[in-house]
Amino acid sequence: MDRSSIRVGFVHDGPLSSEQRVAYDWCRDALPTVETVSLDRLRYVDGGFDALWWHRGEPFDDTDWIADHRPAIEAYLADGGGLLLTLRALEAVPALGIDPVAPDAAGQEWLGEPTGVLAKSLYADHPVFAGFDDLRIHTRGPEVEVPFARYERILPARADVLASTVRGGRDLPKAVSLVSWGSGSVLGLGAAVSFAHATEAGHATRRGDLVRNALAFLADREPPATARGRPKTPEELGTLRDALADDPHRPAYHFAPPANWLNDPNGLIEWDGRYHLFYQYNPGGPYHHTIHWGHAVSDDLVHWTDEPVALTPSSDGPDRDGCWSGCAVDDDGTPTVLYTGGRDRVQLPCLATAADGDLRTWEKHPGNPVIEDLPSDIDLLSTEHWAAEFRDHSIWRDGDVWYQIIGSGVDGVGGAALLYRSRDLREWEYVGPALVGDREGAGSVWECPELLDFGDRQLLHVSNYDEVQYFLGTLDADEPAFAVETRGRLDYGDFYAPQSLRDDDGRYLTWGWLYEARPERAQWDAGWSGMLSLPRHLSLSADGQLQQRPVPELETLRAERLASYDGTLAPTDPDPLSVRGDALELRAEVRLDGADEFGLVVRASPTGRERTAVRLTDEELVVDRSASSFDPESAADDQRMPLPETSGPVEVRAFVDRSVVEVFVDERRCLTGRIYPTRPDSERVSAYASGGEATVESLDVWRLASIR
């Protein structure tokens, strides 16, 4: 719609305040047809306005009276009108029936720096951002106290987030300032658009352009495909994937979120012959906050289909601030999840059951949380964020008794795995700490504990903020006590918070979160963050050692064998591969013999200045990232994994997937590294030996197909 023809109704609920008066005067100068309209007159508005703008800087004494005007607003919107709510008018959304969740942060704030909106890159083409060539749009000058309303600890239940907040040179992704409801019929812009105080001309121009864009968009109502309310259906989530498809760092065959944020895998279960993957997901943007449960399903462990978001925080529940990590079990034919609900500084276990066979709809237990009191016999660690570190669950059944382990920490001692038991998954009895670690050796808090039963021995792994440690031994559930025989690391790289399922064939299949190794600003600009590892089969070898190997189903991705080589490789020999690609599997069986080192170089530029090397010596495997990116902020340290002595060949399997290298050695040890090449031609692959000759018994390279 031509901006010169927009007709705007400037809504007020009494005499215009000074803030409203200045905003109205601006609007009269900026748009040709503007008229004040009181809430009491809305019922008589019969299409005379293309958009309504309710701008309010004062707090509401209460909002009950606003409900009287709800029918008029609903009728106006149903007739094709658009509504812009700015500053504290955003607090009226529950009373107007727009969203049950109001902004949780509102009042007056002092701006010491220029402030504005931090646009999501996914929506950079949204008409509200027309004319801006930067995601960071400063709209309000400093040294002033202004009104605001934002979503900070929570998200609206029905809206899509278009922008957060930028202050000076700092991104504040958790301070959500611009949201959109429905197909764009309502916009809420709660901060950095005050008019009553003078501001620098550039800020005033950007503020005016943003508001003018918003009103023009509401009058036109033609949002881009990626911004039609919060995406819910598989098709809508697929649209988000399509919008990010050209990102050179998005994986081809590792699972990544449709957009926004992913961390821990959750609720893994095989149900009715299909694999269900749930994961920590923030629909608000690519940052860790306001966690929901994303959902995907697969028939083959390789190709995944997005499903609607499974768990959403309840505005009045113990999980208001997030549905944190948990697991899934089969409770006599009912899929059931136990997860950690967070509210304020309290974390407690919550339960939900599937309401359909596709595991799309979940009903939360009305008695949540299912554990209300913390253990009193130990001093659980309290931190800045939580009154007690007490979260994440691993559940199994022994006869008629359910057991679960919850991650925690003992103040001044170290991480702890706390054991509980139950007859019905709803009433839980605390048994005691199954294992308490040493703070120096195993960390102060254990997250995402998981116990896997291999018969005579059990494996307990925990995530301690830095790494994933595992303990092999035996659990006495009555004592309780876990007798540790051996311990180690599950992965030596960018891998965290793994979770497993036991499939119908009895295999333990494990996924881990592959977190980003680039700055948060780069993640915001990319529009997504995080991916999952390839599924790994965990087992014990004949000598009782932990084995990890990629599941054989991944071999179906081998689209083309690019190279095959065997022979003696000397330092002076030319590269035996001559391969290019950014989505590959490499498998080598090598004897170092006289060589000091055998290496595979991947994601290399034509000159080799940008490259990542996987280096094998007789003592360690190294993912050398010293030259992996020309972007200095995405450069990363080398990653090292010690190796045991061996007299035979060493098998190295490396999966290269654009921004990740996932390496398996002898089906026992793993190292996963994130890399961010900048050049589109950094695709060369080569092999070398240094310090002497290496015997390459086999070396194969495959191009792997995309799972999309």
Which of 99, 209, 264, 582 does the annotation list as catalytic? 264
What is each CA distance from 624 to 525, 588, 604, in whole angstroms? 26, 18, 12
| DSSP bridge pairs for 642 | 620
Residue 225 has pLDDT above 90, yes or no: no
Please compute the mean of the pLDDT values over residues 363-388 and round it to a whole number. 95
The whole-number pLDDT of residue 40 equals 86
Name the band, by pLDDT with cuts 50, 70 and 90, for residue 687: very high
Instruction: Tell me which residue of 341, 352, 343, 369 sits closest to 428, measured CA to CA.
Output: 369
Average pLDDT of the chain, as a whole number: 95
Report, as an integer, the average pLDDT of 186-199.
Answer: 93
pLDDT category, 42, cuts 50, 70, 90? Answer: confident
How far apart (Å, rounded) are the C-alpha atoms in residues 21 and 27? 10
CA atoms within 13 A on the CB side of 6: 28
Instruction: Tell me what pLDDT residue 184 has.
Output: 78
Q: Which has the closest alpha carbon to 174: 165, 183, 185, 187? A: 165
Q: Treating both helix axes as pointing N-terminal to C-terminal, what angle do 18-30 and 201-220 enclose, rounded to 10 degrees? A: 70
Give the per-residue pLDDT at 200. 87
Phi-psi domain of 178 (left: phi exceeds 0; alpha: psi -120 through 50; beta: other): beta
Answer yes or no: are the C-beta atoms of 551 and 521 closer than 8 Å. no
Per-residue pLDDT at 526: 98
pLDDT in tens, 348-370: 999 999 999 999 999 999 999 99
3-state secondary structure of 402: strand
Q: Is the pLDDT of residue 334 over 60?
A: yes
Q: What's the 3-state SS for 14-35?
A: CCCCHHHHHHHHHHHHHCCEEE
Say whether 452 sits in a helix, a strand or coil: strand
Class of domain 3-220: alpha beta
Residue 325 near residue 391 (C-beta atoms within 8 A): yes
The answer to whether 218 and 84 are in contact (CB under 8 A) is yes
Using CA atoms, how far apart are residues 243 and 590, in angstroms rounded to an integer? 42
Reading phi first (left if > 0) and then psi (alpha if -120 to 50, else beta), residue 571 is in alpha
The model's pLDDT over 28-39, given as tens digits with 9 standing for 90+, comes to 999 989 999 999
Mean pLDDT, range 513-539, rounded to an integer: 98
Report the b/e string of 612-621 with b at 16+ CB within 10 A: bbbbbbeeeb
d(CA 236, CA 207): 31
pLDDT of residue 635: 85
Peptide bond between residue 369 and the one before it cis (omega within 30 degrees of 0):
yes
Give yes or no for a contact between 138 and 117, defined as CB atoms under 8 angstroms apart.
Answer: no
**362: alpha, beta or left? (left if phi > 0; alpha if psi -120 to 50):** beta
pLDDT, residue 432, reads 97
User: Between 47 and 549, where is the model more confident?
Assistant: 549
b/e for 585-594, b at 16 or more Cβ within 10 A? bbebbbbbee
pLDDT, one tens digit per residue, over 10-29 is: 999 999 999 999 999 999 99
pLDDT digits (tens, 9 = 90+) for 88-132: 999 999 999 999 999 999 999 999 999 999 999 999 999 999 999
Q: How many CB atoms lie within 10 A of CB 363?
A: 10
Partners of 684 in beta bridges:
580, 604
pLDDT at 480: 96
* Token pair recorded at residue 323: 């549905």
Does the structure show a pLDDT above 90 at 647? no
583 with 252: CB under 8 angstroms?
Answer: yes
CATH architecture of 234-550: 5 Propeller (2.115)
What is the C-alpha to C-alpha distance for residues 422 and 432, in angstroms, rounded to an integer? 14
Each residue's pLDDT tens digit, 460-477: 999 999 999 999 999 999
H-state helical runs in 162-243? 201-220, 234-243
Tell me whether residue 365 is exposed, middle or buried, using C-beta atoms within 10 angstroms of its C-beta: 0 to 12, 13 to 18, 19 or more: middle
- In whole angstroms, how far apart are CA 178 and each of 175, 187, 362, 431, 586? 10, 7, 29, 47, 46
Q: Domain residues of the chain, as ranges?
A: 3-220, 234-550, 552-704
Percent of the chain surpassing pLDDT 90: 90
pLDDT higher than threshold 80 for residue 2: no
Alpha-carbon distance of 216 to 219, in angstroms, equals: 5
Q: Picking from 220-224, 385-389, 530-534, 556-560, which range would have the lowest pLDDT averaged per residue?
A: 220-224
Which pLDDT value is given to residue 233? 87
Annotated active-site residue 264? The verdict is: yes
Q: What is the CATH number assigned to the segment(s) 552-704?
A: 2.60.120.560
Query: Is residue 76 a contact partner of residue 164, using CB atoms and an 8 Å limit?
Result: no
Which letter does DSSP use for residue 594 in this model?
T
Residue 56 is encoded by which pair of tokens? 């309010």
Residue whose pair of structure tokens reads 């495959």 in the numeric block: 702
Written as one letter, the residue type at 258 is P
Cα(272)–Cα(157) distance, rounded to whole angstroms? 31
**Between β-strands 322-331 and 334-343, what pairing exists: parallel, antiparallel or unpaired?**
antiparallel
